[in-house]
A and B are shown apart, each in its own frame.
Chain A
């Protein structure tokens, strides 16, 4: 035997140990993977050996390789072998490997249950500690269920080291096995007042983690924590407690009021920055939760802001960062107090640290006002130019849009300026994602702000021209989508329209497959053509009309065979419509023959014929309706019809409108739509039915030709109505009005800037600063108008400078009767903490008690260990239920134990009076000493009286009797359960018999 050992040692000496492995890897830098593969082979050989030392060495090497990213899950069995060694040295290696590579779903974890239980109950505290540390990394549901009792036992170990680890471990158990929470909670609560500060801190830690996700269940612990907070000097624990209070105050405002004073004291007294910071954070949480009406409320806000200012001004970047972070929390509830420190925040924008700049940016949201918006945005634009990191740049862009668009453009006075800013942001060419953001803004401003439409359309025209001239970047491509729409929808300026048609068509031809704007460009071009044609028709300028159609057709021609399906389809549509008009204007135009694609099987003749017939049909009623005008028109009403295609305004729709469309009461989706037809068909012969499918519809199925003007008007109205109810259409509340003569037209900002470094948007800032006189005039006129339009738009009356801003359409269309506010709660994420949302104040039910698994895994040591803590548990329950002086409690500790040990001897269901009788008889039978008997009697009475005492105590506390009686019942019941639980545990070892 000894020889074998020596031999093993000798052999081992020349195996590669961990140091050799590391050295080898360092020496083989060039072919590291090859070397490691070779080592892996060696390790596999070593693992096959019987010698545990060799195995442990191999596992240690595997642990190192795991860190380098090699999968070692194949060695799980060997790791378990090493873990189960008797030697602490090997155990350490095994548990380290396990904690690094095992996880809750590992196979074979079931094998470890008994071994870990043995380790948990080991004599040496470090072995148990090692097992706890390891287990915390890979505990699974099954392990948690089977070991919960053992870990709970360790919570009352005599060694603080183990108590501490066991308490922390319980949190992991709760996560995996939520059923353990309620039975273990009383004990956890007890540990909050453990004599050892480490255990206390661990318990605080666990409760904090639990309460963070389900704070309402832990409100009852607030008094305990309050006491801890005012007495403890352990900063680490104080931070945790204060953080916990921050989570609890939103639920209980009274708690907040009580907290303010001690927290303020701490803020004044502490020298630890970490504690100071957390105090401020919690005070902020309190202030948010009570909002106002508390004495000293304003003073507290002031104190926080002042302290934060000191943090932000500190040279330590960490404090600066945290100061800004806390500021942003105050900002939400007390923007005024933060705005006072605008200078500080703006200064932080120039900080060299990106984290700090990002934080300062977040704060800007609440800093802007009508007065300083332009200034701040200008500063941000300068940063945009300088920013190198894309992260910061993207954040800047997001923030610019956010602060401008917040609260329905509350702070934007001059929308022309804002549109220019958007155009400049587009020119900076960020990513496609941010291009989409800009695009959404362009559309939204166009839809919501009627006054700026002309200008926006002009700006969009320029954008389109730029995109047509040079291939657009990723952001421009996205913005083009919106630009084409805004341009075509709102442009009424003939020169811009005229120029843009070919630009749009050029854009549709470029940009590659990923550009979603292309089809929109085709459509926009057609729209512009239609509007232009109407203008020309009104002026009776036939040549110009023919020219524009020719130009458009020429532009459309390459698109007819575009690789993009939608572009192709829309190009065909547009070509057909335009050639129809052209045919009417000059029947034998050269451009007409060219419309058909060269290779075209496109049935040119058919298309035209068909359209013409349609046109004729439509034409007659139109002429009837407005007789004189159509006589003048050179197209015979065709252009009017074309324009009608694009009639109606697109309005913003509320995000949830689709969901809120009410179901018509007469709609029955389960009913067959044409039941009668099918039944009649089935009666007729099969051949007939088949023929009916392919037969042309009967002539009278197309009643369009017979429409009278009234009917047509009715239909048109019906269509409008339908559009109004259709959530797919963008709508606005105000009626469409293109002919707004009171639109203040500023100078066109299309010219190329003379100075390279000034932004186009800057001129708005400059002009605003310089020409205040001019503004005054405008303001008066605008003011009147805005008041008339939207009286509530300028609610911010405290603003010193009253600058009128154009009316902004708010909200979006919703079906009648639907309110935008009633939104559905977001689906909660899949979170283990959800299972831990349990009511902890309810007494335990019998089936909830953690059944000790010892029945299934009989082992003498664990059984013995089980007995002691169980009795302690009962004791602890007593302790927590009644607030007795500690002296008495101590006294009882020992007594209670013996009583409890006896209890199981007696029948479970008997009440306490019976219990006394019963025991006295047994005592009488047994030849015990007199004083012993007396002692026993005394104990037996004691719990009874104690119970009544606690009840009394509770009575004074509780307000309603009903509640109280319920409580009593439940405490009794709880006690009873404890007894049974205890007996269950005692079933294995029978010490009670020995006592008697």
Chain B
């Protein structure tokens, strides 16, 4: 069983966290912190397995991690998982993210943690590996996103437009325009 999947950056800031065993929020943060401290101390050319963390699951517990550029991908697993298998799984996860985001970087995970969660949900379910074939995962994701797009349809267009405007680095004055009055004006319209 996979007990938890954590993604954090080189400074220990969480970018994605998924716990398959319940911990309250404080405990989750503590686990992330401890895991970061264990992992960040290690050189890049040492092995990717770590024992000695004490927070999850006691003795039958191992950290398997990979370090990509600014991000650490850490899987906390028990002895029923194959170490090398999990390493491959992390690779599949990252490659899938890469396909979804087109050259994934930390910023993608920061702004689209929900999308990353969706990828993860197709990979692992309830702590057990669901699918390891990347093509299948991508296909499932595309189908779901298509559904979402179909639902949004035309009614989402204005929202998309606004978020596009917001995403542009407009000067502050422009953003401070009294746009929010607009709905009021519409409300006052009488048909």
Distance between Cα atoms of A9 and B130 in the complex (Å): 37
CB neighbours (8 Å) of A168 from chain B are 125-126, 128, 130
The interface on chain A, measured as residues whose beta carbon lies within 8 A of the other chain's beta carbons, has a size of: 78
Distance between Cα atoms of A3 and B187 in the complex (Å): 9
Counted as pairs of residues, one from A and one from B, with CB atoms less than 8 Å apart, the total is 171
Distance between Cα atoms of A126 and B121 in the complex (Å): 12
Whether A96 touches B17, Cβ cut-off 8 Å, given contacts A19-B166, A133-B125, is no
Binary contact track A5-21/B, C-beta < 8 Å → 1, others 0: 11101111110011110
B144 touches A126 (CB 8 A): yes
Whether A202 touches B84, Cβ cut-off 8 Å, given contacts A67-B17, A356-B47, is no
A-facing residues in B109-138 (Cβ within 8 Å): 110-111, 113-114, 117-118, 121, 125-133, 136
CB neighbours (8 Å) of A320 from chain B are 47
Binary contact track B154-181/A, C-beta < 8 Å → 1, others 0: 0110110011001100000000000110
Q: Please, which residue of chain A has its CB at the minimum distance from the CB of B152?
A: A89
Binary contact track A185-220/B, C-beta < 8 Å → 1, others 0: 000000000000010011001101100100000000
Q: Name the one of B110, B126, B156 contacting A22, with C-beta atoms under 8 angstroms.
A: B110
B132 touches A236 (CB 8 A): yes
Q: Please, which residue of chain B has its CB at the minimum distance from the CB of A53?
A: B159
CB neighbours (8 Å) of A100 from chain B are 18
Whether A274 touches B51, Cβ cut-off 8 Å, given contacts A67-B14, A88-B148, A89-B152, is no
A89 touches B151 (CB 8 A): yes
Q: Choose the segment among A347-355, A527-535, A581-589, A590-598 that binds chain B (4+ C-beta atoms closer than 8 Å).
A: A347-355
Distance between Cα atoms of A821 and B48 in the complex (Å): 41
Distance between Cα atoms of A655 and B158 in the complex (Å): 77
Query: What distance in Å separates the Cβ of B111 from its nearest Cβ neighbour in chain A?
Result: 6
B140 touches A161 (CB 8 A): yes
Q: Please, which residue of chain B has its CB at the minimum distance from the CB of A68?
A: B14
CB neighbours (8 Å) of A936 from chain B are none
Does any Cβ of A come within 8 Å of B69's Cβ?
A: no
Binary contact track A313-338/B, C-beta < 8 Å → 1, others 0: 00001101110000000000000000
Q: Name the one of A11, A124, A161, A355 contacting B47, with C-beta atoms under 8 angstroms.
A: A355
CB neighbours (8 Å) of B128 from chain A are 168, 171, 202, 205-206, 209
A-facing residues in B17-58 (Cβ within 8 Å): 17-18, 20, 22, 24-26, 28-29, 42-43, 45-52
CB neighbours (8 Å) of A70 from chain B are 25
Distance between Cα atoms of A104 and B18 in the complex (Å): 16
Distance between Cα atoms of A209 and B129 in the complex (Å): 12
A126 touches B143 (CB 8 A): yes
Distance between Cα atoms of A391 and B38 in the complex (Å): 11
Query: What distance in Å separates the Cβ of B49 from its nearest Cβ neighbour in chain A?
Result: 6
Distance between Cα atoms of A7 and B185 in the complex (Å): 10
B-facing residues in A149-186 (Cβ within 8 Å): 161, 164-165, 168-169, 171-172
A124 touches B82 (CB 8 A): no
CB neighbours (8 Å) of B151 from chain A are 87-89
Provide the main secondary structure of the chain A interface: helix
A274 touches B84 (CB 8 A): yes
CB neighbours (8 Å) of B20 from chain A are 137
Distance between Cα atoms of A400 and B45 in the complex (Å): 28
Q: Please, which residue of chain A has its CB at the minimum distance from the CB of B79?
A: A212
Whether A136 touches B159, Cβ cut-off 8 Å, given contacts A239-B82, A355-B51, is no
CB neighbours (8 Å) of A126 from chain B are 140, 143-144, 147
Distance between Cα atoms of A401 and B113 in the complex (Å): 49
B121 touches A133 (CB 8 A): yes
A89 touches B148 (CB 8 A): yes
Binary contact track A101-125/B, C-beta < 8 Å → 1, others 0: 0011100000000000000000010
Does any Cβ of A come within 8 Å of B94's Cβ?
A: no
CB neighbours (8 Å) of A425 from chain B are none
CB neighbours (8 Å) of B163 from chain A are 13, 17, 19
CB neighbours (8 Å) of B125 from chain A are 132-133, 136, 165, 168-169
Q: Choose the segment among A58-66, A477-485, A490-498 that binds chain B (4+ C-beta atoms closer than 8 Å).
A: A58-66
A69 touches B159 (CB 8 A): no
Whether A352 touches B183, Cβ cut-off 8 Å, given contacts A5-B155, A239-B82, A239-B85, is no
Whether A69 touches B80, Cβ cut-off 8 Å, given contacts A89-B148, A209-B128, A355-B46, is no
Query: What distance in Å separates the Cβ of A272 from its nearest Cβ neighbour in chain B?
Result: 8
Does any Cβ of A come within 8 Å of B83's Cβ?
A: yes
Does any Cβ of B come within 8 Å of A273's Cβ?
A: yes
B-facing residues in A247-292 (Cβ within 8 Å): 273-274, 277-278
A10 touches B118 (CB 8 A): no
Distance between Cα atoms of A66 and B143 in the complex (Å): 28
A92 touches B118 (CB 8 A): yes
B147 touches A124 (CB 8 A): yes
Query: What distance in Å separates the Cβ of A138 from its nearest Cβ neighbour in chain B?
Result: 8
Q: Name the one of A19, A71, A136, A277 contacting B126, with C-beta atoms under 8 angstroms.
A: A136
Distance between Cα atoms of A197 and B100 in the complex (Å): 25
Query: What distance in Å separates the Cβ of A206 from its nearest Cβ neighbour in chain B?
Result: 7
CB neighbours (8 Å) of A18 from chain B are 111, 114
A318 touches B87 (CB 8 A): yes
B47 touches A321 (CB 8 A): yes
Whether A103 touches B159, Cβ cut-off 8 Å, given contacts A7-B183, A67-B16, is no
Q: Please, which residue of chain A has its CB at the minimum distance from the CB of B87?
A: A318
Q: Name the one of B22, B25, B110 contacting A104, with C-beta atoms under 8 angstroms.
A: B22
Whether A164 touches B114, Cβ cut-off 8 Å, given contacts A19-B166, A89-B152, A317-B45, is no
Does any Cβ of A come within 8 Å of B98's Cβ?
A: no
CB neighbours (8 Å) of A274 from chain B are 82-85, 87-88
Whether A243 touches B82, Cβ cut-off 8 Å, given contacts A9-B155, A93-B114, is yes
B49 touches A318 (CB 8 A): yes
Distance between Cα atoms of A206 and B125 in the complex (Å): 12
CB neighbours (8 Å) of B17 from chain A are 67
Distance between Cα atoms of A209 and B83 in the complex (Å): 16
Q: Name the one of A14, A88, A137, A239 contacting B147, with C-beta atoms under 8 angstroms.
A: A88
Query: What distance in Å separates the Cβ of A15 from its nearest Cβ neighbour in chain B?
Result: 10
CB neighbours (8 Å) of A96 from chain B are 114, 117-118
Q: Name the one of B80, B159, B166 contacting A12, with C-beta atoms under 8 angstroms.
A: B159
B144 touches A9 (CB 8 A): no
CB neighbours (8 Å) of B82 from chain A are 239-240, 243, 274, 277-278
CB neighbours (8 Å) of A68 from chain B are 14
CB neighbours (8 Å) of B133 from chain A are 198
Distance between Cα atoms of A117 and B184 in the complex (Å): 41
Distance between Cα atoms of A75 and B127 in the complex (Å): 25
Distance between Cα atoms of A413 and B27 in the complex (Å): 50
Q: Please, which residue of chain B has its CB at the minimum distance from the CB of A93?
A: B114
B85 touches A209 (CB 8 A): no
Binary contact track A226-253/B, C-beta < 8 Å → 1, others 0: 0000000000100110010000000000
Query: What distance in Å separates the Cβ of B6 from its nearest Cβ neighbour in chain A?
Result: 10
Q: Please, which residue of chain B has its CB at the minimum distance from the CB of A63?
A: B114
Distance between Cα atoms of A208 and B156 in the complex (Å): 46
B85 touches A236 (CB 8 A): yes
Distance between Cα atoms of A17 and B164 in the complex (Å): 12
Distance between Cα atoms of A123 and B46 in the complex (Å): 49
Distance between Cα atoms of A71 and B24 in the complex (Å): 8
B-facing residues in A14-73 (Cβ within 8 Å): 14, 17-20, 22-23, 26, 60, 63-64, 66-71
Distance between Cα atoms of A6 and B26 in the complex (Å): 41
Having A126-B140, A239-B82, one finds 8 other A-B pairs with CB under 8 Å, namely A9-B156, A92-B148, A206-B128, A209-B1, A212-B80, A236-B129, A274-B85, A277-B83
Complex A-B, nearest 4 residue pairs according to Cβ-Cβ distance, in ascending order: A136-B126, A274-B84, A103-B22, A317-B47
**Mind listing 20 A-B residue pairs with CB under 8 Å?**
A6-B155, A10-B183, A12-B159, A13-B159, A63-B114, A67-B16, A88-B144, A89-B148, A92-B114, A105-B22, A168-B128, A198-B136, A209-B80, A236-B132, A243-B82, A274-B85, A317-B46, A317-B47, A354-B42, A391-B52
